[in-house]
Amino acid sequence: MKQLFIDGGWHDGAGVTTTYSPSDRSDLVGEYASAGAAQVELALEAARAAAGSWRHSGVQQRADALDKIGTEINERKAELGALLAREEGKTLPEAIGEVGRAGAIFKFFAQEALRIRGDKLASVRPGVEVDVTREALGVVGIIAPWNFPIAIPAWKVAPALAYGNCVVLKPAELVPGCSWAMAEIISRSGLPAGVFNLLSGPGRIVGEAISKDSRVDAISFTGSVGTGSRVLAACAARRAKVQLEMGGKNPLLVLADADLDVAVNAAIQGSFYSTGQRCTASSRLIVDETIYRAFVAAMTEKLGQLKVGHALHAGTDIGPVVDQAQLEQDLRYIDMAKAEGARLAFGGERLPRETDGYFLNPALFVDCDPAMQHTREEIFGPVASVIPAKNYEHALQLANDTEFGLTAGICTTSLKHASHFKRHARAGMVMVNLPTAGVDYHVPFGGTKGSSYGAREQGGAAVEFFTTLKTSYTCA
Ligand code: UN1
- Mutate which of 101, 150, 152, 452 for ligand 1 pocket (most atoms within 8 A of beta carbon): 152
Q: Are 17 and 153 found together in one domain?
A: yes
Residue 202 DSSP SS3: coil
118 alpha carbon – ligand 1 mean position (Å): 31
Alpha carbons 247 and 159: distance in angstroms, whole number: 23
CB 46 within 8 A of CB 197: yes
Q: Whose CA is nearest to atom 7 of ligand 1?
A: 279
438 alpha carbon – ligand 1 mean position (Å): 7
- Mutate which of 269, 271, 279 for ligand 1 pocket (most atoms within 8 A of beta carbon): 279
Q: Are 73 and 106 found together in one domain?
A: yes
How far does CA 321 lie from the centroid of its chain? Answer: 17
Domain count, the chain: 2
Domain harbouring 377, CATH code? 3.40.309.10
Run means of pLDDT, 10 residues per run, the chain, 476 residues? 98 98 98 98 98 98 98 98 98 98 98 97 97 98 98 98 98 98 98 98 98 98 97 98 97 98 98 98 98 98 98 98 98 98 98 98 98 98 98 98 98 98 98 97 98 97 98 95
Domain harbouring 210, CATH code? 3.40.605.10
Alpha carbons 117 and 294: distance in angstroms, whole number: 52
Give pLDDT, residue 239: 97
Q: Are 64 and 194 found together in one domain?
A: yes
How far, CA to CA in Å, does 412 sit from each of 266, 291, 366, 386, 418?
12, 12, 20, 17, 7
For residue 438, tell me if it sits in a domain. Answer: no
Pocket, ligand 1, Cβ cutoff 6 A: 145, 147-148, 222, 245, 278-280, 437-439
Alpha carbons 175 and 168: distance in angstroms, whole number: 16
For residue 446, tell me if it sits in a domain. Answer: no
Q: Are 176 and 225 found together in one domain?
A: yes
Whole-model pTM?
0.98
Give pLDDT, residue 233: 98
Q: Are 72 and 149 found together in one domain?
A: yes
Q: Are 239 and 290 found together in one domain?
A: no
For residue 73, tell me if it sits in a domain. Answer: yes
For residue 443, tell me if it sits in a domain. Answer: no
Give pLDDT, residue 476: 79
Which DSSP string do the residues of 172-196 spell out, in sequence order?
-TT-HHHHHHHHHHHHTTTPPTTSE
Q: Domain limits at 79? A: 4-246+451-475
For residue 437, tell me if it sits in a domain. Answer: no
Q: Are 310 and 386 found together in one domain?
A: yes
CB 383 within 8 A of CB 283: yes
Q: Is the dihedral of CA 381, 219, 428, 448 positive or negative?
A: positive
Please give the backbone phi and psi of residue 390, each rounded to the nearest 5 degrees, phi first: -75, -35
Alpha carbons 251 and 272: distance in angstroms, whole number: 14
For residue 442, tell me if it sits in a domain. Answer: no
Q: Are 424 and 285 found together in one domain?
A: yes
Q: Are 208 and 307 found together in one domain?
A: no
Q: Are 200 and 276 found together in one domain?
A: no
Q: Are 231 and 257 found together in one domain?
A: no
- Mutate which of 147, 280, 442 for ligand 1 pocket (most atoms within 8 A of beta carbon): 280
For residue 283, tell me if it sits in a domain. Answer: yes
Give pLDDT, residue 356: 98
Give pLDDT, residue 335: 98
Indicate which atom in ligand 1 lies nearest the CA of residue 437: 2
Q: Are 275 and 170 found together in one domain?
A: no
Active-site residue set: 245, 279
Q: Is the dihedral of CA 382, 386, 387, 391 positive or negative?
A: positive
For residue 411, tell me if it sits in a domain. Answer: yes
